């Protein structure tokens, strides 16, 4: 598509999601940073060794009450960050990535709840990751950064909760990789969340997702500008990262959504050009998605986070999923999406079955949607009431 057509499509999407005004929005927000550099705050890593010191970027919305029993942690997906709601300035045209769900009167009602979102460790939006300065060398870590896992991300967030004086969350909510963090939190820290809401996720990274991630990593590492991960201060491996994002983005959509959105429509031409230019709208769209992604994301972070996703498997240390959930104390609302082929509903139902086998409190809700994996970022009307009711009901049974 041309730039104007991309802008028009984005504007239509923003208005459809209610971004055009501030009614129900949290307004202007700012990102906070906390550095863990004191004895006992070292982050012990699942793959061995420690990360110290390290910083987490986070944002909060609403007010923590005196009892500190209204905190809701929102965990983000692969390309997300701490900016989950509101705007960073009055003229900021891009609200937080889940702005549709967070604010006064919304599903995560900031008049009731204190909402927290942190950029994961290993990220590139303010938290310590491969692009951060290595204190041992004074230069960016690059691929000297240690491997991190979903469990490491969760453990870092528990230190953030300690910093905020929150012993126990009312709820942890997240989709895709965020859902994996919610599951890990429930298992590794059973006393720290009363409610858990994993959406569009799985208890282990499926083989197909590993395969797509590997294609993306190889695209980045094949870029001559990658230079073994030590490209900071020089040309960036933008072409490789762009291709990786294009591949990943395909998995976020569904066949129906792709057909409806693009079909075989041509891009500003009346017939084929018989060249390798972007003849089709879908080609132009993917190229735009890839290029725009390189402006806000670090290639090494993409490598590290996709590897963390691939390593995620709740059965690895527990043997079975049922055993993994044996000591869980949280109540669950598990939500799947009918057209999601990255994490199809059967993967969510596996989680539900394992929880029921251990006699846990669990509800399952499947959203009918043609948007594919991205539905959890789009289907506000179909999710909001269910999640709001679950939180309200859970608040009545909260106990420290």
Distance CA 200, CA 180 (A): 9
In contact, 200 and 336? CB cutoff 8 Å: yes
Q: Which residues contact residue 276 at a Cβ distance below 8 angstroms, ignoring those fewer than 6 apart?
A: none
230 is catalytic: no
292 is catalytic: no
- In the 3-class helix/strand/coil scheme, how is 38-94 assigned residue by residue? CCCCCEECCCCCEECCEEEEEEEECCCCCCCCCEEEEECCCCCCCCCCCECCCCCCC
Place of tokens 């009167």: 105
Distance CA 78, CA 120 (A): 9
The tokens describing 205, both together, are 């990274």
37 is catalytic: no
Q: Which of 340, 343, 369, 374 is catalytic?
A: 340
Distance CA 218, CA 243 (A): 10
Q: Which of 176, 242, 284, 339 is catalytic?
A: 176
**Helical H segments across 264-379, by residue range:** 281-294, 299-311, 321-324, 345-357
Type and span of the H or E element at 384 = helix 380-395
Q: Which of 83, 125, 373, 374 is catalytic?
A: 373
Residue 197 burial (CB count, 10 A): 31
Q: Which residues are catalytic?
A: 176, 340, 373
């Amino acid at each position: 598509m041309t730039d104007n057509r991309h802008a028009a499509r984005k504007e239509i999407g923003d208005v459809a999601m209610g971004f055009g005004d501030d009614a129900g929005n949290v307004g202007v927000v700012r990102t906070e940073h906390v550095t863990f550099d004191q004895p006992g705050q070292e982050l012990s890593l699942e793959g061995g060794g420690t990360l110290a010191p390290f910083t987490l970027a986070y944002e909060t919305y609403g007010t923590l009450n005196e009892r500190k029993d209204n905190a809701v942690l929102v965990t983000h997906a692969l390309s997300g960050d701490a900016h989950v709601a509101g705007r960073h300035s009055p003229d900021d045209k891009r609200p937080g990535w889940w702005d549709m769900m967070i604010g006064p009167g919304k599903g995560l009602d900031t008049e009731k709840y204190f909402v927290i979102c942190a950029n994961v460790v290993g990220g590139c939006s303010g938290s310590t990751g491969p692009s951060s300065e290595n204190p041992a060398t004074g230069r960016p870590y690059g691929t000297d950064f240690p491997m991190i896992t979903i469990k490491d991300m969760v453990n870092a967030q528990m230190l953030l909760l300690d910093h905020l004086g929150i012993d126990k969350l009312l709820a942890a909510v997240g989709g895709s990789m965020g859902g994996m963090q919610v599951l890990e939190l429930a298992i590794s820290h059973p006393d720290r969340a009363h409610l858990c809401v994993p959406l569009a996720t799985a208890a282990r990274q499926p083989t197909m997702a590993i395969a797509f991630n590997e294609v993306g990593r190889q695209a980045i590492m094949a870029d001559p500008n990658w230079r073994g991960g030590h490209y900071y201060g020089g040309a960036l491996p933008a072409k490789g990262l762009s291709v990786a994002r294009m591949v990943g983005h395909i998995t976020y959509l569904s066949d129906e959504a792709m057909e409806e959105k693009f079909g075989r429509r041509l891009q500003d031409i009346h017939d084929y050009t018989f060249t390798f230019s972007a003849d089709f709208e879908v080609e132009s769209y993917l190229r735009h998605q890839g290029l725009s992604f390189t402006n806000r994301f670090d290639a090494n972070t993409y490598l590290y986070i996709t590897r963390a996703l691939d390593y995620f498997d709740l059965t690895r240390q527990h043997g079975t999923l049922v055993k993994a959930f044996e000591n869980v104390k949280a109540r669950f609302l598990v939500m799947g999406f009918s057209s999601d082929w990255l994490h199809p509903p059967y993967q969510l139902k596996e989680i539900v079955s394992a929880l029921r086998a251990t006699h846990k409190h669990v509800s399952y809700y499947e959203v009918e949607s043609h948007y594919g994996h991205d539905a959890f970022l789009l289907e506000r009307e179909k999710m909001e009431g269910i999640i709001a009711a679950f939180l309200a009901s859970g608040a009545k049974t909260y106990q420290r």
